Amino acid sequence: MARFGFVVGAVAALSACRGPQSTFDPAGTESAEVLHLFWWMLGGAVLIWLFVMGLSVYATKAHPKAHSERTGTRLIVWGGVAFPVVVLTALLAFGLQMMPGFRAPADGPRIAVSGERFWWRIHYEASDTPGVAKTLSGEGVPSANELWIPVGKRTEILLSSPDVIHSFWVPNIAGKVDTIPGRITRIVLEPTRTGTFHGICAEFCGDAHAQMRFVVKVVSEAEFAGRVEAERAPATLLDHPGRLAFEANGCGACHQVRGTASAGLVGPDLTHLGSRETLGAGILPVTTDNIQRFIALTEHEKPGVQMPSFATLPPEQTRAMAEWLEALK
Ligand code: CUA
């Protein structure tokens, strides 16, 4: 019975290792290599642990008498110096030979991603060195919180932040790299299969750190090109009561809806919010109800966010805004 429980527990634990946000389910060249390294290190660690445990059993049970000084010295020199030096050097060499592959140049699109409090500003078609100011000036094709990348290509992500340090991490595809104010850091994502994955902020950055997520869509090159064109287009649904409410309440001071007078760059670009999967940087599915709730109860849904709650607005206004934003495909 105990054995059955162990098997059930092990299967449950291992199955939790798969999924869209797991380093154990690699969908990128870098994550596959890192997992490979992990298994070698784990295997080595288990062997060394068994060896050391064996020695302690030997010393306490099988041969409990004191060794001669010569034997003791030999044990320390071989087991305590030579053995760790050899093992650690081998591991270092194994890890280092992976580095050139990680550093190989990109052959795919270049996308700028800025860590904001607490969401991700995205610009497709970024230039080589987009400073934060350049990104804010609207260079490239703006989007937010949902990153589309082509499968089989090495996409270069240029990372920045206007104020605090975040860390950009898509566990299934690659390692993590910090976004550092005043600097451009880089990571290359080379996904090996299509699918939807989850990215997260991996560096504590403030109240809503744990709610600073994003969706990663790995698609074919043709689909990627189509998505960038769709993102580039201005909003098409302009004749809507929600647009009037949005503009009358000053939402455009912080948010941009291209094709309208709203051109704020403080918060996420909402031009095609309805075409995204999630809202509030990966925390809620995009539905009319959720958008309305997020507008009215922003600080409740996402504590620490810079946007205030608009709980005092009449519900018919927030409803109209939500319907309009949901319809911006
Ligand atoms: Cu951004 Cu943690």
pLDDT digits (tens, 9 = 90+) for 278-328: 999 999 999 999 999 999 999 999 999 999 999 999 999 999 999 999 999
191: amino acid identity, one letter: P
Please state, as a whole number, how many other Cβ atoms lie within 10 Å of the Cβ of residue 123. 25
Centre of ligand 1 to C-alpha 325, Å, is 26
Ligand 1 pocket at CB < 6 A: 115, 118, 166, 201, 203-205, 209, 212
Entry field: residues in the chain:
329
Centre of ligand 1 to C-alpha 209, Å, is 4
28: amino acid identity, one letter: G
Mean pLDDT for the stretch of residues 200-216: 96
130 has pLDDT over 60: no
Spatial distance between the Cα atoms of 182 and 25, rounded to a whole number of angstroms: 34
Centre of ligand 1 to C-alpha 302, Å, is 13
The residue contributing the CA closest to ligand 1 atom 1 is 166
The whole-number pLDDT of residue 322 equals 97
Centre of ligand 1 to C-alpha 106, Å, is 26
Spatial distance between the Cα atoms of 58 and 27, rounded to a whole number of angstroms: 45
Give the phi and the psi of residue 232 in degrees, each rounded to 5: -70, -30
Centre of ligand 1 to C-alpha 280, Å, is 14
> Which ligand 1 atom sits nearest the alpha carbon of residue 118?
1
> Which ligand 1 atom sits nearest the alpha carbon of residue 205?
2
> Which ligand 1 atom sits nearest the alpha carbon of residue 117?
1
DSSP 157: E
Query: What percent of the chain stands above pLDDT 90?
Result: 71
Query: What percent of the chain stands above pLDDT 70?
Result: 91
Contacts of 156 (CB under 8 A, 6+ apart): 106, 108, 109, 110, 111, 186, 187, 188
> Which ligand 1 atom sits nearest the alpha carbon of residue 209?
2
133 has pLDDT over 50: no
Centre of ligand 1 to C-alpha 310, Å, is 24
Torsion of CA 92, 93, 95, 97, to 10 degrees: 160
| Mean pLDDT over each residue of the chain, to the nearest integer | 90
The whole-number pLDDT of residue 64 equals 80
> Which ligand 1 atom sits nearest the alpha carbon of residue 179?
1
Centre of ligand 1 to C-alpha 272, Å, is 24
Please state, as a whole number, how many other Cβ atoms lie within 10 Å of the Cβ of residue 103. 9
CATH topology of domain 110-231: Immunoglobulin-like (2.60.40)
Residue ranges of the chain that CATH labels 2.60.40.420: 110-231, 241-326
Strand 278-279 and strand 284-285: the pairing is antiparallel
Q: Give a three-class secondary structure readout of 242-282.
A: HHHHHHHCCHHHCCECECECCECCCCCCCCCHHHCCEECCC
Instruction: Write the pLDDT tens digit of every residue in 21-77.
Output: 999 999 999 999 999 999 999 988 998 899 889 988 988 888 888 888 998 899 889
Cα distances from 273 to residues 88, 157, 248, in angstroms, run 50, 22, 19
CATH topology of domain 241-326: Immunoglobulin-like (2.60.40)
Spatial distance between the Cα atoms of 104 and 293, rounded to a whole number of angstroms: 45
Spatial distance between the Cα atoms of 310 and 230, rounded to a whole number of angstroms: 30
Q: Is 74 helix (H, G, I), strand (E, B) or coil?
A: helix
Give the phi and the psi of residue 111 in degrees, each rounded to 5: -130, 130
Spatial distance between the Cα atoms of 196 and 166, rounded to a whole number of angstroms: 22
Own/partner long-range contacts of 135-143 (Cβ < 8 Å, ≥24 apart) = 135/160, 136/162, 136/265, 138/265, 139/112, 140/112, 141/228, 141/231, 141/232, 142/231, 142/256, 142/258, 142/269, 142/271, 143/231, 143/269, 143/272
